[in-house]
Amino acid sequence: MSAMTARVVAMPPRTGNGSQPYLRAVTRPAPACSTCKSMPFCLACSSATDSAAVDALVTQRIRLRKGESLVRSGDAFTGLFAVRSGSCKTVVTTTGGQEQIAGYHIAGDILGAQANLWTEYIATPHHVEYMLFPRLLAFSESVWSPASGKDYEDFMRRLPYQLGRLDKQAVHYRIPEPVGLEDFYTTTEDHAVVELRSLVAGGSIHYTLDGSDPTNASPRYETPLQIPLPSDQKTTLNVLVTAPVGRRSVVYGATFLRRTYLDAISGVVPQPGLSFALFEGTFTTVHDIERGIPVSTGISSSLDLGQFGRAMKFGVRFEGYIEVEVDGFYRFAVESDDGAVLRIDDEVVVDNDGNHGPQSVIGHIPLRRGLHKFSLRYYQSEGGAALSVGWADEDGELQPLAGPALFH
Question: What pLDDT is recorded for position 111?
Answer: 62
17 in Cβ contact with 67 (< 8 Å): yes
Question: What pLDDT is recorded for position 188?
Answer: 77
Number of residues that this document lists for the chain? 408
Question: Quick one: what percent of the chain has pLDDT higher than 70?
Answer: 73
Kindly report, residue by residue over 184-241, the tens digit of the pLDDT: 777 778 888 999 999 999 999 999 999 999 999 999 999 999 999 888 888 999 999 9
Question: What pLDDT is recorded for position 50?
Answer: 40
Question: What pLDDT is recorded for position 250?
Answer: 94
Question: What pLDDT is recorded for position 112?
Answer: 65
Kindly report, residue by residue over 298-329, the tens digit of the pLDDT: 999 999 999 999 999 999 999 999 999 999 88
Question: Quick one: what percent of the chain has pLDDT higher than 90?
Answer: 55
Could you give the CA distance from residue 226 to residue 22 in angstroms, rounded to a whole number? 57
Could you give the CA distance from residue 51 to residue 238 in angstroms, rounded to a whole number? 57
Question: What pLDDT is recorded for position 243?
Answer: 94
Kindly report, residue by residue over 115-139, the tens digit of the pLDDT: 888 888 899 999 999 999 999 999 8
Question: What pLDDT is recorded for position 91?
Answer: 38
Domains of the chain by start residue, with CATH: 1-123 (no CATH), 125-168 (no CATH), 184-258 (2.60.40), 274-407 (2.60.120.1560)
- Convert 170-199 to b/e letters by CB count within 10 Å (16 or more is b): ebbbebbbbeebeeebbeeeeebebebebb
Residue 194: name the closest of 66, 203, 184 by CA: 184
Residue 256: band (very low, low, confident or very high) from pLDDT cuts 50, 70, 90: confident
Question: What pLDDT is recorded for position 356?
Answer: 93
Residue 10: band (very low, low, confident or very high) from pLDDT cuts 50, 70, 90: very low
Kindly report, residue by residue over 44-103, the tens digit of the pLDDT: 443 333 444 333 333 333 333 334 444 444 433 333 333 344 333 333 333 333 333 444
Phi, psi of 39 (to 5 degrees): -120, 145
Interval 255-272 mean pLDDT: 89
Could you give the CA distance from residue 389 to residue 123 in angstroms, rounded to a whole number? 38
* Residue type at 164 in one-letter notation: G
Residue 407: band (very low, low, confident or very high) from pLDDT cuts 50, 70, 90: very high
